[in-house]
Amino acid sequence: MNKELPEIYDHMTKLMRTSVENNNFKYQFLINADQKEYNWALPKVRSQILSNICKNSRQKAILKNYSANIVYSYENVKGQSLGEFMVKPDHCN
């Protein structure tokens, strides 16, 4: 992964809220980026999240103990959805 990406991503994003909807634990992020920047960063960020999620005890517990999906949702400063992706409960098996 590009060494600069975590710093760029951390600078661009802010966790707005977490919620639970229909067995989905949802992290909603505000991202200071346009669709093009988001599309560039998402595959790299998703790869990093997927490789680290099983190391995070809270997220691992959500997946294993509650059999819940974790959804990462992103919207820009104008309130427009940029996209989301889901991690299934069997990811850490």
Cβ partners under 8 Å of residue 80, min gap 6: none
| CATH code, domain with 64 | 3.30.300.250
pLDDT for position 11? 56
Q: What is the pTM of this model?
A: 0.77
CB of 87 within 8 A of CB of 63?
A: yes
Q: Which tens digit of pLDDT belongs to each residue from 30-88?
A: 888 888 888 888 888 888 888 888 898 888 888 888 888 999 998 888 888 988 999 99
Number of domains in the chain: 1
Q: 80: domain range?
A: 5-92
Q: Residue 79's Cα: distance from chain center in Å? A: 17
